[in-house]
Amino acid sequence: MTTSKKSLRTCNKGHKYYKSSDCPTCPICEKERKPDNGFLSLLSAPARRALENNGITSLQQLSNFSEDEILQFHGMGPT
């Protein structure tokens, strides 16, 4: 099993975190942004951001899209 090298990063808010991918998202900021209730609170951060980036913040808005359309959003997977 190979291990990936993690680098220390600092976000705009000053949070320090280690990450091995090129993703610029601060996990601390992402945890602070997570809703406490509603359907978005049940999703992973990438899936939640994918919906939010496409203007979807409610189940009613989500129902206007087909499954195939949703799967095309960056960050959305089959699960």
The domain in which residue 74 lies consists of 35-79
Residue 6 belongs to some domain of the structure: no
Residue 60 belongs to some domain of the structure: yes
Half-sphere exposure (CA, 13 Å, Cβ side) for 23? 15
Query: Containing H/E element for 64?
Result: none
Residue 3 belongs to some domain of the structure: no
Per the CB < 8 A criterion, the answer to whether 45 and 34 are in contact is: yes
11: confidence class by pLDDT, cuts 50, 70, 90? very high
Residue 15 belongs to some domain of the structure: no
pLDDT score, position 62? 96
Residue 27 belongs to some domain of the structure: no
pLDDT score, position 2? 58
At 69, list the tokens: 């359309």
- In angstroms, the CA 8 to CA 15 distance is 10
Residues with Cβ < 8 Å from 58, sequence gap 6 or more? 38, 39
More confident residue, 18 or 4: 18
79: confidence class by pLDDT, cuts 50, 70, 90? confident
Q: How many helices (H) and strands (E) does the chain have?
A: 4, 2
The domain total for the chain is 1
Residue 45 belongs to some domain of the structure: yes
Give pLDDT tens digits for 17-75.
Answer: 999 888 888 989 988 888 888 999 999 888 999 999 999 999 999 999 999 999 999 88
